[in-house]
Amino acid sequence: MTRRYTYTCLLLSYEQAPYIAEAVRSALLQECAPMQIVLSDDASRDDNYSRMKEVVDQYDGRTMFS
């Protein structure tokens, strides 16, 4: 019986707007397969969530970020 391992990258954040885009890009560029990426914003009062979403919206599964 062959086992297929699944990797999970869990990125938890709270009020990290200045740094979160780089962290999300890094998670999306990991080369483990199969892998799920879970991004979580813990109700930040800054624009942390919108910055996370912006990076994810630009990602098409193949694109390297500039």
pLDDT over 80 (residue 64):
no
Mean pLDDT of the chain: 90
- pLDDT at site 66: 56
Locate the domains of the chain by residue range.
Answer: 7-58
Mean pLDDT across the stretch 7-33? 94
| pLDDT tier at 61, thresholds 50, 70, 90 | confident
Burial category of 53 from C-beta neighbours within 10 Å (exposed 0-12, middle 13-18, buried 19 and up) = middle
